[in-house]
Chain A
Amino acid sequence: MSTHDHTPPGAATGPAGPPPRARTRKATGAPTGLTQGSRARGGIGESTLRPDGTLKVTGEFAYSSDMWHEDMIWGHILRSPVAHAEIVSIDVSGALAQAGVHAVMTYDDLPTDVRYYGLEIQDTPVLAHGRVRHHGEPVALVAADHPETARRAADRIRVEYRELPVVTDEASALAPGAPVLHPDRAPHGAHPNIVHRQPIVRGDVGAAARRADVVVTGEYTFGMQDQAFLGPESGLAVPGEDGGVDLFVATQWLHSDLRQIAPVLGLPAHKVRMTLAGVGGAFGGREDLSMQIHACLLALRTGKPVKIVYNRFESFFGHVHRHPAKLRFEHGATRDGKLTHMKCRIVLDGGAYASASPAVVGNASSLSVGPYVVDHVDIEALALYTNNPPCGAMRGFGAVQACFGYEAQMDRLAAELGMDPVEFRQRNAMEQGSLMPTGQRVDAPAPVAELLRRVQARPMPPERQWETTEGADVRQLPGGLSNTTHGEGVVRGVGYAVGMKNVGFSEGFDDYSTARVRMEVSGGEPVATVHTAMAEVGQGGVTVHAQIARTELGISRVTIQPADTGVGSAGSTSASRQTYVTGGAVRNACREVREQVLRMGRRKFGTYHRAWATAKLLLEGGKVVTDAGEALADLADVLGDEAVEAELEWRHRPTRPFDPHTGQGDGHVQYAFAAHRAVVEVDTELGLVKVVELACAQDVGKAMNPLSVVGQIQGGSVQGLGMAVMEEIVVDPVTAQVRNPSFTDYLIPTILDTPPLPVDVLELADPHAPYGLRGAGEAPTLSSTPAVLAAVRDATGLDLTHTPVRPEHLVAAALAAAPGRTARN
């Protein structure tokens, strides 16, 4: 057997590659006020290539599941086969007796009194304690010398469950006498099964409703989506000689993990050393802990390195999902197409544990109006505890569910008024200066009408592209390779949607990032090293950090250090915040380094040239130059053999909590906007959908890396497409068990389901954000789902209220009329 040591990735230098052809259209925007490094090669605004690209295409990039240690053993988790039960007994003797088993652990083996964890509310048991609350909840741990040995041993653990009634929706969760999921938690609303509730009231809805010429109500349901990142939850915990542990893991936020892990292990934080291993996608699903504590527990218990890798089945139980939602809206408008009022109630299913539910509620309520001006609102959003799988963070959370509802309403209103749906939206579009329903003023560009105009103005994809001289190319038709139609029954439809997402952590959260930047001479050349704990999950933060350093420091060689807990928190790679917040921290740390370098230069060389004292100085091309372009010194000479380093925290403007009764408050820091136009072809007889084109226009403030930001927009758009036509975790309403925990039955789009994705990038600078940038990762996931649904409605004339739309929804009329229907109970 060969041995190999996979060191964590990330320690890659980032040379500026040849800029590939840009697919971004530049839009005019406010100048971003750059004073430094605008001529830096490989700086911000260029499509520099990923520093980890070569490692990733050669297979050398070490993901968390690639971690390996010569002496390692394998951890495995026994999970509950039922959704709600009392644990009567656990007998681990059979597992312990099996050869090759090193340890078996249950709740009783936990080392300290801290036995619960959670992002916001510590309600999640590390291992089930007397009760399981959802299908797949961890009950026991096994460590063994081979994954199959561990699986077999887990099968020999005898757990006696006494099943309890399940609550699965609002009616059952809030019914009198309903089982209470967390009886110890102080009530937070009318019922203990409500995790969090946020009303927002503004204006006079009753009076406004009387002014409405049309009132449209609608009820919508949003299915449970899975992040379906490809890299399974995995990592390696290595016990340290000091009694601590080194953990190599894929996560979105090292320090948040650390804060939850260390107390359970009974270790001080500095004895839990975390290093980010390669992350195979995240999308919110790695914001909560998965195998982190379990691997550490087993490593500390056995004294051996322990590797845990979930398989795909387990992954569906091992992370939270997107909250399914029921949304009820009432909108009114005047005959000339102005919105009068909006009432809504959004019920989110948080599942068995809180996870990010409170923040999801905050987003869903505060963004439920969408990017429109509505002065009179009555909004309520709440999240429930149920026995369904726990739900939490996923790209665009809260805003995604709301957007599906309000955009369907916009189409209904437009239809009711006989107006073009885009024009109707534009008439009500918010702009800079508009007020949110929370009373917060939108104080940066909000080009909602313009984004819609751009997607609408785009030429339509040609009709009947499947026709070839040799007949129909089924790959371009609904059904694809399955050969279901050669054009029969196929009808085209077009739909539009626009959405808005808050960027960064909201509601008074102290949202900051830490960056450490060092400059020194190496090989005769100035080199910068950027060290943050930012989780690179694929989004390209490492690329952008190197670009920022080049721009700010005027040098070309930048090394990005592996992310670990040896530096302060960089916050979460979520909420579209990393380029903004950690980018801001890197920028400021670089500027601090720059000032130190200039001070050093003045000290060393100030007497030789008057400009050191009088001119505005910049770092460019590896030199100190005046703003008139005169070179004063090489950075290599300024630095000599000294290193300059700065570490600092950077925070965005503070936000405030929403008032618990009125929802008023400046809760958000920035908004991102995107619009989509979807063109679909629907086989109206079979109910199969082919998306023909999905065009997006998004304002990103500043395209820090045009290639990467377009990639984010396209990827987000396709996750929304999947949510529109195929992606749904199906939970049995009677047993609360997951029915499709596999990639065989939880379907995500293939390349044959995905159309061309033209992207129009606007760059209207946000004066409050570093470089004018706007968080970009989430907004495209919002509007793509409702745009596709609108297009399917356009093609079929159906009033579709559930996403994802399923074939049987599209042929419901035919099914209702068919003879020999199956009788249902």
Chain B
Amino acid sequence: MDFLRPASWEDALAAKAEHPAAVPIAGGTDVMVEINFGHRRPEHLLDLGRIEELATWETDRDTVRLGAGVPYTKIMESLRAELPGLALASHTVASPQIRNRGGVGGNLGTASPAGDAHPALLAAGAEVEAESVRGSRLIPIDAFYTGVKRNALAPDELIRAVRIRKARGPQQFSKVGTRNAMVIAVCAFAIALYPAERRVRTGIGSAAPTPVRAEEAEAFLAAALDEERLWDSGARIAPSLAEKFAGLCAAACDPIDDVRGTADYRRHAVGVMARRTLTWTWEAYRAAPAADRREGGAV
């Protein structure tokens, strides 16, 4: 095994071009488990830990460009206002020690359906900034997950950053696990409201071969909110509406039975989380001053 220690991003891209099978390692929280247990013996480990820009983020008026290696702890602590859904999801990742090392780049690279960041990234409509010596491209999150633990990256590409629009409405994230901390998701759900666009986006984790959105549920909810003029009135959402939304979210799942939970339970739990997180986000939206609501400002 070779341990490649590029000092710069350019060097890292060159190394990945030269050794497309090299396994990138940043926080190590996925890769090292596999190596410690002999489940994976890569020819090359590509250490991204020395590339400072990966651990930083930049913001402009609308967007956060989140370095692939920004630890979850930093997201929780410093980007709660800009990326509330992802910050909530970050807080549910494993343990404090893991949150101090792991970042969204690892979640995306591994592309496990159980990665905690995925639902929040889906709901936020993120774009993955993939780069190789051939150039850089933005992959919409909706097109990123291509199969169980597979993603749209080319073999020579590395994830430089994730571009996420700053929240312009309430966001929530919820995850079911059978322990109150340090637990892999049985299933997870994220929701983001976009009052200015009168849209809703969702993300579901661990309930299908890949992280998915509940697109039908999103469309239904957007239409219902419009039809009942709820964005304007700020009135409560009727329980029946929330229930319908929840049912559509559950129907968007394609889960399996495994040692962490049954398919039926996952579908059910996604529905419950969908209903609750919709309620929480909508209550936050209603609680915001009417002027903010009209402007669609962050709540």
Contact = CB atoms under 8 A, between A and B. Distances in A.
A binds B: yes
Interface of A: 148, 151-152, 155, 311, 313, 475, 478-486, 488-489, 685-688, 690, 725-726, 730, 739-740, 744-745, 747, 749-753, 806-808, 811, 814-815, 818-822
A481 B181 contact: yes
A818 B176 contact: no
Contacts of A151: 38
A480 B181 contact: yes
A688 B187 CA distance: 13
Given A481-B92, A482-B92, A752 B180 contact: yes
14 contacts: A152-B38, A152-B41, A479-B176, A485-B276, A747-B179, A807-B176, A807-B186, A808-B262, A808-B264, A808-B265, A818-B250, A818-B264, A822-B262, A822-B264
B181 A730 contact: no
B210 to A, nearest CB: 18
B272 A753 contact: no
A745 B259 contact: yes
Contacts of A822: 255, 257, 262-264, 267
Nearest to B258: A739
- List the 7 closest pairs (A to B, CB-CB), nearest first: A480-B180, A752-B181, A808-B265, A482-B175, A822-B263, A752-B180, A739-B259
Given A482-B92, A747-B179, A818-B264, 7 more contacts: A479-B177, A481-B91, A481-B92, A483-B174, A687-B265, A815-B264, A822-B263
Contacts of A478: 180
Given A753-B180, A811-B268, A821-B264, A482 B38 contact: no
A686 B259 contact: no
- How many chain B residues sit at the interface, stated as a range, is 35 or more
B182 interface: yes
A726 B179 contact: yes
A483 B261 contact: no
Contact of A686 (B92, B183, B269): B269
Interface in B179-198: 179-186
Contacts of A489: 272
A370 B189 CA distance: 45
Given A482-B92, A807-B269, A818-B268, A686 B176 contact: yes
Nearest to A489: B272
Interface string B147-191: 000000000000000000000000011111111111111100000
B117 interface: no
Contacts of B178: 688, 725-726, 747, 806-807
B176 A483 contact: no
Contact of A484 (B174, B260, B264): B174
B36 interface: yes
Max chain A CB contacts within 10 Å: which of B92, B180, B276? B180
Contacts of B269: 686, 807
A751 B92 CA distance: 15
Contacts of A688: 176, 178
Contacts of B41: 152
Interface string B245-287: 0010011000101011111110111001100100110000000
Contact of A747 (B176, B183, B267, B272): B183
Nearest to B189: A484
Contacts of A806: 178, 261
Contacts of B222: none
A726 B183 CA distance: 11
Max chain B CB contacts within 10 Å: which of A481, A808, A814, A822? A481
Contacts of A313: 37
Contact of A815 (B176, B177, B255, B268): B268
B251 A311 contact: no
A339 B5 CA distance: 73
Given A807-B186, A820-B251, A690 B268 contact: no
Contacts of A488: 276, 279
A753 B177 CA distance: 12
Nearest to A486: B280
A753 B37 CA distance: 28
A685 B265 CA distance: 11
B260 A745 contact: yes
Given A482-B174, A484-B174, A818-B268, A753 B181 contact: yes
Contacts of A749: 179
Contact of B261 (A148, A752, A753, A808): A808
Nearest to B182: A750
Contacts, number: 114
Given A482-B92, A488-B276, A807 B261 contact: yes
A725 B172 CA distance: 27
Contacts of A818: 250, 264, 267-268
A740 to B, nearest CB: 5
Interface string B65-92: 0000000000000000000000010011
A686 B177 contact: no
Contacts of A152: 38, 41
Nearest to B91: A481
A108 to B, nearest CB: 26
Contacts of A687: 265
Interface in B9-65: 36-38, 41
Interface in B81-107: 88, 91-92
Contacts of A485: 276
Contacts of A739: 259
Given A311-B37, A483-B92, A484-B273, A750 B181 contact: yes
A745 B183 CA distance: 8
B188 to A, nearest CB: 8
A170 B104 CA distance: 48
B67 to A, nearest CB: 24
Nearest to B89: A483
Contacts of A750: 179-182
A96 B201 CA distance: 58
B283 to A, nearest CB: 10
A303 B269 CA distance: 58
Nearest to A148: B38
A750 B179 CA distance: 8
A720 to B, nearest CB: 16
Contacts of B88: 483
Nearest to A480: B180
A478 B255 CA distance: 23
A814 B176 contact: no
Contacts of A820: 250-251, 267
Contacts of B186: 807
Contacts of B179: 480, 726, 747, 749-750, 753
A749 B175 CA distance: 18
A478 B178 CA distance: 10
A311 B36 contact: yes
A747 B38 CA distance: 22
Max chain A CB contacts within 10 Å: which of B178, B185, B263? B178
A686 B272 contact: yes
Nearest to A753: B180
B146 to A, nearest CB: 24
Contact of A807 (B36, B172, B265): B265
B254 to A, nearest CB: 10
Contacts of A484: 174-176, 273, 276
A478 B180 CA distance: 7
A481 B180 contact: yes
Nearest to B277: A483
Nearest to B265: A808
Interface string B184-219: 111000000000000000000000000000000000
Contacts of B175: 482-484
Contacts of B257: 822
B296 to A, nearest CB: 23
Contacts of A744: 184
A258 B244 CA distance: 67
B3 to A, nearest CB: 14
Nearest to B263: A822
Contact of B176 (A475, A482, A690, A725): A482
